[in-house]
Amino acid sequence: MKRKVVIDAENLIRTYKSGDAEVKVLRGLSLQVQEGEFVSIIGRSGSGKSTLLYQLSLLDVPTSGRVFVDGVDTSTFSEEERTRVRLNEMGYIFQDYALVPELTAEENVVIPLLMQDIETREARRRARVVLEKVGLLHRLKNLPNQLSGGEQQRVAIARALGHSPKIIFADEPTANLDNETSLVILELFKQLHKEGQTIIMVTHEREYTAETDRVIKIFDGSIVFEGSPKELRE
């Protein structure tokens, strides 16, 4: 059965100015992600995988090319409109957790829900549900600096999940974690995927792609491989 396309990137080009020189980070890259798909993007440092994620999650605007989210062309969107799409359609997990330091674990999850105009009590209830899901119900009132790296990343995942986004973007979510904690995080992604969540994850660890539906390998701003983890291994 053909599933709905939630992300459709067409011929993305992203260039940066470095002094007088122009660096082309993405070179006309196109891809589609279907609803419920778990896609991993791999590549060496500087290959353009994070830049691709920024374009897909509307954190950045491509120099040329278009990104369709749920069939809507976002190329003409203003910063405010992109922010609104991120709030309503996307959850983002940063490499360095990026929790707001003055907010407790619960409040970090609550804040996007408040922005969606959800009543505070309901927002707290939902936050508790997702924090329970990531095994942090006992850490609700802790500030980020009172949590370990793994716990912070789990709060970040809960924050990305809290407002039930269509797509979750994860930018090297295990990069700052030890192997054991990384496996816990990956297990969480696996679980979310099973529940039908669309996930696009950037990673440089090839073994972490094993549980994903599709692996996209980037080299020098272009897709050089696209297939299942098994095909990648072969």
Partner 1 sequence: MKNRASNIFHEVRVAIRVGWFLALRQVRRANIWTNVLVIAIMALTFLNLVVVSGILVGLIEGSVKTIKTHYLGDVFISTPKGKNFIQHSQDIVKTAENIPGVVAVSARYLEGGIVEEDYKKTKKPGDSGNEVGTNITGIDPDSENRASDLARLVVEGEYLSPDDYDQVLVGSLLLKKYLDFESPNFPVLERADIGTKIRITLGGNTREVTVKGIIKSKADELDRRIFMVDRQFRNITNRFDYNADEIVIRIAPGVDSKAVRDAILATGAGAYARVQTAEEGEPKFVKDMKKTFNMLGTVISSIGLVVAAITIFIVIFINAITRRKFIGILKGIGINALAIEIAYVLQSVFYAILGTALGVAFVFGFLKPYLDVHPINFPFSDGILVATLDGTLLRVAALFIATLIAGYIPARIVTKQNTLDAILNR
CB of 102 or CB of 234, closer to partner 1: 102
- The residue (of 13 and 210) whose beta carbon lies closer to partner 1 is 13
**Per rule CB under 8 A, is residue 107 in the interface with partner 1?**
yes
Among 87, 137, 175, 210, binds partner 1 (CB under 8 A): 87
Does residue 72 touch partner 1 according to CB under 8 A? no
User: Residue 11: helix, strand or coil by DSSP?
Assistant: strand
Q: Tokens 């790296």 belong to which residue?
A: 149
Cα→Cα distances 199→12, 23, 32, 47, 189, Å: 20, 29, 13, 20, 8
- Tell me how far apart the alpha carbons of residues 149 and 122 are, in angstroms, rounded to a whole number: 28
Selected binder of partner 1 within 38, 54, 189, 208 (CB under 8 A)? 54
Does position 100 interact with partner 1 (CB under 8 A)? The reply is yes
**102 is an interface residue for partner 1 by CB under 8 A:** yes
- Restricting to residues 117-156, name those near partner 1 by CB under 8 A: 117, 143
Buried b (16+ CB within 10 A) or exposed e, 44-74: eeebbbbbbbbbbbbbebbeebbbbbbeeeb
- Smallest separation (angstroms) from partner 1 to the CB of 120: 8
CA separation for the pair 94, 174 (Å, rounded): 10
DSSP string for 119-186? -HHHHHHHHHHHHHHTT-GGGTT--GGGS-HHHHHHHHHHHHHHT--SEEEEESTTTTS-HHHHHHHH
Residue 45 sits in the site that holds partner 1 (CB under 8 A): no
- CB 164, min distance to partner 1, A: 13
Near partner 1 by CB under 8 A: residue from 86, 154, 214, 217: 86
CB of 54 to partner 1, least distance (A): 6
Q: Which range binds partner 1 by CB under 8 A, 81-89, 124-132, 182-190, 210-218?
A: 81-89
112 scored as a contact of partner 1 (CB under 8 A): yes
Q: What is the DSSP string of 33-89?
A: EETT-EEEEE--TTSSHHHHHHHHTTSS--SEEEEEETTEE-TT--HHHHHHHHHHH
Closest approach, Cβ 229 to partner 1, in A, equals 29
Name residue 31's amino acid.
L
- Smallest gap from Cβ 23 to partner 1, in A, equals 14
Site for partner 1, rule CB under 8 A: 54, 59-60, 79-80, 83-84, 86-88, 90-92, 94, 98, 100-103, 107, 110-112, 114-115, 117, 143, 159-160, 163
